[in-house]
Amino acid sequence: MLLCKHAKDSFTFTKTIYNQCFPVFLMMKLSYEQAVAKIKEHSSLGEEEIKSNIDAKLNQFAGLVSKEGAAHIFANELGIKLIDPTAVSKLKINNIMAGMQNVEVLTKVLAVFPVRQFNSKGREGQVGSSILGDETGNIRAVFWNEQANKLAFLNKGDVLKIKGVYVKENRDNSLELHFNDRSTMVVNPPGETVEAQEFKRETPKKRINEIADTDRFVEVFGTVVEVFDLRFYEVCNKCGKRAKPEENNYMCPEHGAVSPDYSYVLNVFLDDGTAAVRTVFFRNVAEKFLKKTAEELLAFREAPEAFEQIKNDSLGSFIKINAKVNKNEMFNRIELIANELEEAKPEDVQLPESTATKSTASTEATSAPEETKATAEPVVPAAPAPEAPATPTTPADATPAAENIQASSEANK
C-alpha cells in the first residue's frame, strides 16, 4: 500500500493505473508462472509476448512493484481478473491460495483426526481436522464446533465434494481449508472419482528427552510404565461438546439443557529410557491401545474396579505414537496427545545417533516409574483447577492435556 502511494507520487499515475496498482499488495498469493498461464488462457497473446509486456510494466514502475504485481497490472489492462475472491472457485488443491473465500473443491479423504474439546478465553467448543487430497497435492481441512460432527461420517478413501469453505495460512505458512456455518459437503457424490497420493505426515522421530515445546508433532517409541483410570465426562448428545452440570441439568453451551452422552480419556506415562512423558489417549486412540470397543469401555463407568486388570495387562506395552506436543503451562512440562498409535518392537526403533551418549546419562538420572506411581490421577477435561502437587519432584497428573488445547488452526490435526 505504501509502495503504491510512493509510485503514485513519483509517476503521476492516472486514476486507472493507480487503482490497478493498489490491489497488487492486497491480492492473494499468485505465482508469476500462474499469472502468465492465466493471461495466456484468457487472451490471444503468446507466452513470450505476455512476459515482454510484464517486463515493460516492471520498467515503467522502476522496481516499485514485484514481477507478480506487474503481471496483475497487465492482466487488468487486458480486462482479465487473475483473482476474484468473492466468486465460487472450483479448484485443484495446487491452485488454492490464502485468503480465498467460497471455495469449491473435489477431494479424497486421506486421513481423519480425532475431534478435540477446547476452552479459549472462557469459550468452549470443539475442533477437528482431516487431510484431503487430489492429484495435485493435499491440504488440511479444519472443522469448527458443530461442523466437527461431520468428521464422524468421513472415512479414509471417501470422495468429498466441498463448497463454501475459506482458505487460511497457518503458523507454518501452509494452507488450510476452514468450514463455517455456510460450508457444505457431499460424501461420495455419484459418478465422481479422485486420484490422490497416500498422505504421510513428515513427523520427526525423537527421543522423549529431545522433545521441545517448539515441536508441533513428533513420532515416539516407548514403553507404557503407568496407566491411570479411564476418565469419563459428559458431552452433548447433539454436538459432542462438553456438557457441564448446572443445578439439575447438564448444559451444553450450544444446545442448553441436554441428556448427556459420555466420552472418555486415558492418561499413561510413556518411557523410552531417556525420560518419561505424560501421554493422552482420547476416545479412538484409547480404544486401539486397550483393544476394546466403545461399548466395552463405557461399561467401566459403572464398574471401574473391573478396569484394574485391563490396566495391569497394558503395563509394559511397547508402542509407537504420532503425537501433538502440548505445553502444560500450569506445571511447566511437555505432554503428548496421541493421534495415531500402533504396537511396535524395540528393533523397529531407528533414531539419529547424535544423542546416544546423552541418552545413557539421562537414563541414569531419570526415575520416572517411581515418580509416576506417586502421581495424582487426572481429572476429566474442563474440571476445576487442580490442587498443587504433593512434592516438587512428583509430576502432578491432575489436568488432562485437552484442557490446555487452544482453538487454533493446528488442532490435531
Final residue in a domain of this structure, among 77, 101, 134: 77
- 110 falls within a domain: yes
3-state DSSP call for residue 151? helix
Final residue in a domain of this structure, among 24, 49, 77: 77
Same domain, residue pair 317 and 357: yes
Same domain, residue pair 15 and 132: no
Residue with cell 492486497: 26
- 38 falls within a domain: yes
End-to-end CA distance of the chain: 35
Q: What is the mean pLDDT of residues 164-168?
A: 92
Phi, psi for 191 (deg, rounded to 5): 80, 0
- 398 falls within a domain: yes
Residue 232 and residue 335: Cα distance in Å, rounded? 20
For 54-102, the pLDDT digits (tens) are 999 888 887 677 888 888 889 889 988 876 555 445 789 988 888 888 8
Same domain, residue pair 68 and 152: no
H or E stretch at 73: helix 67-77
- 299 falls within a domain: yes
Same domain, residue pair 218 and 360: yes
Residue 18's pLDDT band (cuts 50, 70, 90) = very low
- Measure Cα distances from 45 to 54, 76, 162, 325, 395 in Å: 12, 14, 34, 52, 69
pLDDT for res 403? 39
* Higher per-residue pLDDT: 363 or 208: 208
Count of Cβ atoms closer than 10 Å to residue 171 Cβ: 9
Number of domains in the chain: 3
CATH code: domain of residue 353: 2.40.50.140
Max intra-chain CA distance, the chain: 82
CB 142 within 8 A of CB 131: no
Which ranges constitute the DSSP H helices of 125-184? none
CB 400 within 8 A of CB 233: no
Residue 23 lies in domain: 2-77
pLDDT for res 331? 87
For 41-57, the pLDDT digits (tens) are 999 999 999 999 999 98
3-state DSSP call for residue 368? helix
Residue 121's pLDDT band (cuts 50, 70, 90) = confident
Q: What is the mean pLDDT of residues 107-130?
A: 84
Q: Residue 98 corresponds to which cell in the numbers above?
A: 490464502
Position 324, amino acid: K
| Helix axes of 307-314 and 283-290: crossing angle, nearest 10 degrees | 80
Q: Residue 174 corresponds to which cell in the numbers above?
A: 501452509
Residue 296's pLDDT band (cuts 50, 70, 90) = very high
Q: Residue 292 corresponds to which cell in the numbers above?
A: 476394546
pLDDT for res 89? 52
* Higher per-residue pLDDT: 373 or 328: 328
* Higher per-residue pLDDT: 17 or 394: 17
Residue 65 and residue 24: Cα distance in Å, rounded? 8
Closest CA to 230 of 283, 171, 174: 283
Residue 362's pLDDT band (cuts 50, 70, 90) = very low
* Higher per-residue pLDDT: 227 or 241: 227
Report the Cα 50 to chain-centroid distance in Å: 40
- 372 falls within a domain: yes
- 249 falls within a domain: no
Final residue in a domain of this structure, among 55, 77, 99: 77
Q: What is the mean pLDDT of residues 19-47?
A: 71
For the ranges 105-114, 318-327, 344-353, the lowest mean pLDDT is seen at: 344-353
The mean predicted confidence, pLDDT, of the chain is: 78
Closest CA to 47 of 56, 38, 58: 38
% of the chain beyond a pLDDT of 70:
75
Same domain, residue pair 94 and 125: yes
CB 152 within 8 A of CB 143: no
- 134 falls within a domain: yes
pLDDT for res 36? 92
Residue 169 and residue 154: Cα distance in Å, rounded? 24
CB 159 within 8 A of CB 192: yes
Q: Residue 110 corresponds to which cell in the numbers above?
A: 486421506
pLDDT for res 126? 85
Residue 164 and residue 220: Cα distance in Å, rounded? 38
Same domain, residue pair 68 and 97: no
Residue 159 and residue 335: Cα distance in Å, rounded? 35
Same domain, residue pair 355 and 212: yes
Output the 3-class SS for 346-401: HHHCCCCHHHHHHHHHHHHHCCHHHHHHCCCCCCCCCCCCCCCCCCCCCCCCCCCH
* Higher per-residue pLDDT: 10 or 169: 169
Same domain, residue pair 354 and 308: yes
CB 252 within 8 A of CB 233: no
pLDDT for res 280? 95
Same domain, residue pair 31 and 177: no
CB-count exposure of residue 198 (10 Å: 0-12, 13-18, 19+): exposed
Same domain, residue pair 168 and 270: no
For 256-287, the pLDDT digits (tens) are 899 899 999 999 999 999 999 999 999 889 99
- 140 falls within a domain: yes
Residue 411 and residue 413: Cα distance in Å, rounded? 5
Same domain, residue pair 70 and 97: no
Same domain, residue pair 7 and 139: no
Q: What is the mean pLDDT of residues 385-404?
A: 35
